[in-house]
Amino acid sequence: MAGAAAEVPLAPKAGAPPRRLNVNVGVLGHIDSGKTALARALSTIGSTAAFDRAPQSRARGITLDLGFSCLCTELPPHLGPGPGQLQLTLVDCPGHASLIRTIIGGAQIIDLMMLVIDVTKGMQTQSAECLVIGQIACEKMIVVLNKIDLLPESKRQAAIDKMTKKMQKTLESTKFHGCPIVPVAAKPGGPEAPETVVPIGVSELIEVLKSESSLPKRDPSGPFLMAVDHCFSIKGQGTVMTGTILSGSVSIGDSVEIPALKVTKKVKSMQMFHTPVIYAIQGDRVGICVTQFDPKLLERGLICTPESLQTIHAGIISLKKIPYFRGTLHTKAKFHITVGHETVMGRVMFFSPAPADFNNEPLGNNFDFEKEYLYQEEYLCKDSKSSEENKENDQGDERRLPKEQWALLEFEKPVTCPKLCLVIGSKLDTDIHANACRLAFHGVLLQGMEDKNYGDTFLPKLKVYKLKHKEGQVERLCDDYSVIGRSLFKKETNIQIFVGLKVKLSTGEEGIIEGGFGQSGKFKIRIPDGVRPETKALLTAISKKKPKAGKGDAAKEDESNKVDSVQPVHITLLFKRYVFDTQKRMIQS
Ligand SMILES: Nc1nc2c(ncn2[C@@H]2O[C@H](COP(=O)(O)OP(=O)(O)OP(=O)(O)O)[C@@H](O)[C@H]2O)c(=O)[nH]1
Ligand SMILES: [Mg+2]
């Protein structure tokens, strides 16, 4: 990358860097709302990647990738003590719908989010998606109403007030309710206006940014992990990777792994916004210079403490549906799944606690392999349809929902990610003009499966079961201790595998399947406690009704009307089958 050379550390200066607190501010919003114009207006120093520098993106006039720039002001008192600088790193996210994966990646490194709204348009489809991502990945937000210069001056304030009210209403039910809403014009006059045009409201916005900034989480412990957003080489120096440190810390001389390339490199030097440093921690934005490798091999990706990341083929997540997503979440459906910073296609299988555990409190970031779980055809929510298995949790019209639900994700190709990382499932193939939220669910990766043969080596440990329910009828009495049943199995079913299973009669007796009877799927049930006299009477009545009621015979018809009111005796067979049991055993309690 041309022009980058000046920013690369040549040699680390001795001594501690000046006190400078870095806060990452995401700039998100619908396409063309003016995010790049706003970042430009806010920045005083541009970093290597800012302002749509890529030639393709300048030609199309849209942001194709994350842009980074920064703004330095004095440290506000609430972030004190003492003098110092607050460095706001602006992460300009693309707005175009097709770039949502990049936005999700960007959102995970920000401490504070600015949602840019075109004041003449209000909330648009991707503004809503950004709001959803913000709710999942960010703690704090500022709404920026941009392009106020387009409002006629006489009605400007009234229009701003109206849009402010509207936004307050939209945010009411979100975690950002009551957040600041700031009107600006980042580039009054639009694209034709000269570069020298003075933005409106930007200094007020800077004050709000300062007061909303809080100390980001900064913890040097744990493995080092950095999201690299740009990579370039410097002749005679090495290759520089710039990015944000997501966890841990890094010092000159450390070894860092580039998992995508399966190589480990030594850190030669580092720089934070033009200043050489010897050490950097979580939340910092740094350029790390390592021994030479081809920068084309790594445009975007993670670097880390050697062997601290996992490369997984499947995983178990705890998850929640995104309420704005229309439609149901079906087991076996395919989604685009963003795992940490990578997005792959994957298939899902949903499961819930076993009915007895429905009210259990969530386990946080743990998954209990000792427990049993109930397979679900679809994620359970207020409007998902109720299956047989869930009925015992439905009380009248009131549905009891579990406090926690999970999914098994199986990826089409392996992904490299940290433990307990954020997972977002989306339907990116939905028409981007459809005006619908494409983000379907979000969750936390609780368990990754690194073995390619996880189906054999790992899944049998996962006790997810289906509850099988079969209904049949007693055909006739056999003797005092047995009856013949029908309609429970298909004609071709091998009844032998059901021998020994317990069944229950609607008259109360418990029985055991003893074996097939004849050729048509009938079978014999042994009743160890004996058939009750009432049941015998009932069965006699039923068998009288059935055979050959002659035509036109009034007396017989009368008789048959009487027995029509006699209910048949039902047989119920209930058993569990574990989804990943290779032997397909049927289990009864
Ligand atoms: N009138 C007016 N036009 C603006 C303002 N801010 C931005 N624009 C124009 O709006 C268009 C889009 O601005 P950008 O900053 O590229 O928008 P963006 O949100 O970064 O767009 P993407 O990155 O492609 O999603 C450009 O033509 C800008 O000149 C403003 O305050 N007033
Ligand atoms: Mg842009």
Q: What values do phi and psi take at 487, rounded to 5?
A: 65, 10
User: How many other C-beta atoms can be found within 10 angstroms of the C-beta atom of residue 356?
Assistant: 11
Q: Which residues of 519-533 are buried (b: 16+ CB within 10 A; e: fewer)?
A: eebbbbbebeeebee
Report yes or no: 476 and 543 within 8 Å, Cβ to Cβ.
yes
Find, among 176, 188, 187, 180, the residue nearest to 206 by Cα: 180
**Mean pLDDT along residues 45-58:** 45
- List the structure tokens of 86: 């607050």
Predicted confidence (pLDDT) at residue 225 exceeds the cutoff of 80: yes
User: Which burial class, exposed, middle or buried, applies to 267 when counting CB atoms under 10 A from its CB (0-12, 13-18, 19+)?
Assistant: buried
Rounded distance from Cα 52 to ligand 2 centre (Å)? 7
Predicted confidence (pLDDT) at residue 455 exceeds the cutoff of 80: yes
Q: Is 185 in the pocket of ligand 1 (CB under 6 A)?
A: yes
**Mean pLDDT along residues 13-35:** 76
Place of tokens 């950002």: 176
Rounded distance from Cα 62 to ligand 2 centre (Å)? 5
Please tell me which residue, 565 or 90, carries the higher pLDDT value. 90
Rounded distance from Cα 137 to ligand 2 centre (Å)? 20
Q: Is 150 in the pocket of ligand 1 (CB under 6 A)?
A: yes
Predicted confidence (pLDDT) at residue 103 exceeds the cutoff of 50: yes
Predicted confidence (pLDDT) at residue 363 exceeds the cutoff of 90: no
**Mean pLDDT along residues 468-481:** 93
Predicted confidence at residue 379, as pLDDT, reads 96
Predicted confidence at residue 16, as pLDDT, reads 47
Rounded distance from Cα 187 to ligand 1 centre (Å)? 7
The Cα 68–Cα 35 span in angstroms is 12
Please tell me which residue, 230 or 20, carries the higher pLDDT value. 230
Give the residue ranges of DSSP H helices in 95-193: 100-107, 125-137, 156-171
Predicted confidence (pLDDT) at residue 436 exceeds the cutoff of 90: no
pLDDT tens profile 512-522:
999 999 878 89
Confidence of residue 432 (pLDDT cuts 50, 70, 90): low
Q: What values do phi and psi take at 431, rounded to 5?
A: -55, 125
Torsion of CA 290, 293, 296, 299, to 10 degrees: -30
Predicted confidence (pLDDT) at residue 7 exceeds the cutoff of 50: no
Predicted confidence at residue 90, as pLDDT, reads 86
Across 168-182, 428-442, 481-495, the highest mean pLDDT is recorded for 168-182
Our mutation pick for probing the ligand 1 site, out of 31, 32, 69, 118, counting the most ligand atoms within 8 A of Cβ, is 32
Predicted confidence at residue 95, as pLDDT, reads 64
Predicted confidence (pLDDT) at residue 450 exceeds the cutoff of 80: yes
Q: Residues near 489 by Cβ (< 8 Å), separated by ≥ 6?
A: 470, 472, 495, 498, 521, 523
The Cα 475–Cα 558 span in angstroms is 22
The whole-model pTM stands at: 0.80
Please tell me which residue, 69 or 220, carries the higher pLDDT value. 220
The helix/strand/coil state of 21 is: strand
Predicted confidence at residue 425, as pLDDT, reads 94
Q: Is 234 in the pocket of ligand 1 (CB under 6 A)?
A: no
Which residue's alpha carbon is at the smallest distance from atom 26 of ligand 1?
Answer: 191
Predicted confidence (pLDDT) at residue 65 exceeds the cutoff of 80: no
The Cα 51–Cα 54 span in angstroms is 9
Minimum-distance ligand 1 atom for the alpha carbon of 184: 31
Predicted confidence (pLDDT) at residue 319 exceeds the cutoff of 70: yes
Predicted confidence at residue 5, as pLDDT, reads 34
Q: Is 191 in the pocket of ligand 1 (CB under 6 A)?
A: yes
**Mean pLDDT along residues 130-153:** 94
**Mean pLDDT along residues 99-109:** 70
**Mean pLDDT along residues 411-417:** 93
Predicted confidence at residue 13, as pLDDT, reads 41
Report yes or no: 38 and 101 within 8 Å, Cβ to Cβ.
no
Q: Is 186 in the pocket of ligand 1 (CB under 6 A)?
A: yes
Confidence of residue 561 (pLDDT cuts 50, 70, 90): low
Question: In the Cβ-directed half-sphere of 306, how many Cα atoms lie within 13 Å?
Answer: 9
Rounded distance from Cα 33 to ligand 1 centre (Å)? 5
Confidence of residue 6 (pLDDT cuts 50, 70, 90): very low
**Mean pLDDT along residues 502-509:** 96
Predicted confidence (pLDDT) at residue 135 exceeds the cutoff of 50: yes
Place of tokens 């047995």: 482
**Mean pLDDT along residues 22-29:** 88
pLDDT tens profile 331-359:
999 999 999 888 899 999 999 999 888 88
Rounded distance from Cα 41 to ligand 2 centre (Å)? 13
**Mean pLDDT along residues 422-429:** 87
Rounded distance from Cα 201 to ligand 1 centre (Å)? 16
Length of the chain: 589
Minimum-distance ligand 1 atom for the alpha carbon of 150: 1
Question: Before 81, cis peptide (omega within 30)?
Answer: yes
Confidence of residue 11 (pLDDT cuts 50, 70, 90): very low
pLDDT tens profile 571-587:
999 999 999 998 888 99
Find, among 173, 304, 184, 286, the residue nearest to 240 by Cα: 286
Predicted confidence at residue 4, as pLDDT, reads 35
pLDDT tens profile 378-398:
999 887 766 656 666 666 556
**Mean pLDDT along residues 522-542:** 93
Q: Is 27 in the pocket of ligand 1 (CB under 6 A)?
A: no
pLDDT tens profile 39-48:
989 885 444 4
Q: Residues near 74 by Cβ (< 8 Å), separated by ≥ 6?
A: 83, 84, 85, 86
**Mean pLDDT along residues 230-256:** 92
Find, among 260, 258, 256, the residue nearest to 270 by Cα: 256
Which ligand places an atom closest to the C-alpha of 150? 1
User: How many other C-beta atoms can be found within 10 angstroms of the C-beta atom of residue 321?
Assistant: 22
Which residue's alpha carbon is at the smallest distance from atom 9 of ligand 1?
Answer: 190
- Find how far residue 93's CA is from the centre of its chain: 20
Confidence of residue 491 (pLDDT cuts 50, 70, 90): confident
Confidence of residue 546 (pLDDT cuts 50, 70, 90): low
Predicted confidence at residue 62, as pLDDT, reads 52
Rounded distance from Cα 92 to ligand 2 centre (Å)? 7
Minimum-distance ligand 1 atom for the alpha carbon of 96: 25
Q: Which of 103-112, 174-183, 526-535 has the lowest mean pLDDT?
A: 103-112
User: Which contiguous run of DSSP H or E holds residue 335?
Assistant: strand 334-339
Give the Cα-Cα-Cα angle 195, 110, 41 (nearest 5 degrees).
Answer: 10
Rg of the chain (C-alpha set): 33
Give the Cα-Cα-Cα angle 94, 97, 99 (nearest 5 degrees).
Answer: 50
Q: Is 32 in the pocket of ligand 1 (CB under 6 A)?
A: yes
pLDDT tens profile 268-300:
999 986 789 999 998 888 999 999 999 998 877
Average pLDDT of every residue of the chain: 85
Q: Is 188 in the pocket of ligand 1 (CB under 6 A)?
A: yes
User: Which contiguous run of DSSP H or E holds residue 267?
Assistant: strand 263-272
Predicted confidence (pLDDT) at residue 87 exceeds the cutoff of 50: yes
